Amino acid sequence: MLGKTKTSNNINMKKEWIEKGYVDEQVDASLDLKKEIRQLCKEKDAIILAHYYTVGDIQDIADFVGDSLALARKAAETDAKVMVMCGVHFMAETCKLLSPDKTVLCPDLTAGCSLADSCKAEDLKKFKDEHPGYQVISYVNTTAAVKALTDVVVTSGNAKKVVDKLPEGDNYIFGPDYNLGSYINEVTGRKMLLWNGGCHVHERFSVAAIAKLKEEHPDAIVMAHLECKGPVIAAAEIVGSTATMLDYAKQNPTKEFIVATEAGILHEMQRSCPDAKFYPVPPEVSEGGLGCSCNECQYMKLNTLEKIYNTLKYEWPSVEVDQEVAKDAVKPILRMLEIIQKTK
């Protein structure tokens, strides 16, 4: 018989749940999961936050869908007792940092982030020690431990605005996304030291794939996320965060778009702009490899309706952040929000 432990809310937690990082319980196939999830939210005073990169079914049942900045703001504002963060683990940590008294649930603890993984706290600390006097600007796609070593956090949607407000005479380390940092250096004239990290999704886009789609759809507007490589950014007409691209599409709803970011955003784009046409840029594949028509984040897709149902039912997995880490990690997030508020 498998051993069990008790959670704080006295729900039995099986050993295999802990090993797998999610509640592995069979869900009755006859259930209307969307309806059941909404009912559980009502009973438990819970809201569902979903990133644009999750699957469409999850976005459809969410109380709020957005990019990293919008989700962070929502986490800070909500009165709900429970938040279910449908995204990746660092997003759930950010929710907990901003709402320490709330219960933050993460449907699958193994939903990590290749970008966050590219910058370990111990490595950043060593790099800081090697560059005394440098302040750290961290992309939101980082762990709480990295944020605790950070002076100010940024998102792809506000990085330029935040950096523009920082003193020009100071020295900065920007990480972990090299592509985003390189772009911000270019548009601001700064010379920040860049951490050499990247997103496994956005690194796979190529100019060749964009050129092929542009040849097939010559009137389409090319949009690219700032985590893409420099040549891809240069080939795009609209560059920015997922929210930036979505807003542009809404303002031009009858046009055609070539989209270089994670394919999950297409759900909201198509919902918001039913008369527009969107063409996802396929990932670059190695010679002899099997290609696919879109580029997806394997971690975001670990979120499923079944896991959301179970995480609400059993109120696990919940995300906690060490109090000493949290004390320092929340400061750069609040500083970001304060700077953005002043730029409005």
Q: Is the pLDDT of residue 138 over 60?
A: yes
Pair (64, 137) in one structural domain = no
Q: Which residue segment(s) compose the domain that 292 sits in? A: 202-296
The Cα 273–Cα 218 span in angstroms is 20
pLDDT grade, residue 12 (50/70/90)? low
Residue-level pLDDT at 301: 95
- The reported pTM is 0.89
Mark which of 143, 169, 199 sits at the end of a domain. 199
Q: The tokens of 339 are what?
A: 């700077």
341 belongs to a structural domain = no
pLDDT the model gives residue 79: 92
Same domain, 11 and 106: yes
Residue 336 domain flag: no
If phi > 0 it is left, if psi is from -120 to 50 it is alpha, else beta; for residue 313 that is alpha
188 contact partners, CB below 8 Å, separation of at least 6: 160, 163, 164
| Same domain membership, residue 136 and residue 97 | no
Local confidence band at 149 (pLDDT 50, 70, 90 cut-offs): very high
The pLDDT value recorded for residue 293 is: 52
What tokens were used for 122? 């111990």
**Whether residues 49 and 80 fall in one domain:** yes
pLDDT at 70: 84
pLDDT for residue 10 is more than 60: no
Same domain flag for 279 and 316: no
Residue 291 has pLDDT above 70, yes or no: no
Q: CA-CA distance, 127 to 37, in Å (whole number)?
A: 45
Q: What is the average pLDDT across 89-102?
A: 94
Which domain-ending residue is among 144, 171, 199? 199
Domains identified in the chain, total number: 3
CA distances, 29 to each of 41, 287, 305, 306 (Å): 20, 41, 12, 10
Indicate if the pLDDT at residue 11 is higher than 80.
no
Which CATH number characterizes residue 44's domain?
Answer: 3.40.50.10800
d(CA 100, CA 112): 21
Closest CA to 225 of 240, 237, 205: 240
If asked whether residues 79 and 173 sit together in one domain, one would say no
Give a yes or no: residue 165 inside a domain. yes
Burial of 216 (0-12, 13-18, 19+ CB in 10 A): exposed
Pair 125, 107 in one domain = no
Q: Which two tokens stand for residue 140?
A: 């939101």
Tell me which of 183, 199, 215 is where a domain ends.
199
Q: Are residues 276 and 212 in the same domain?
A: yes
Tokens of 334: 């609040």
Distance CA 20, CA 109 (A): 8
Give yes or no: residues 105 and 10 share one domain: yes
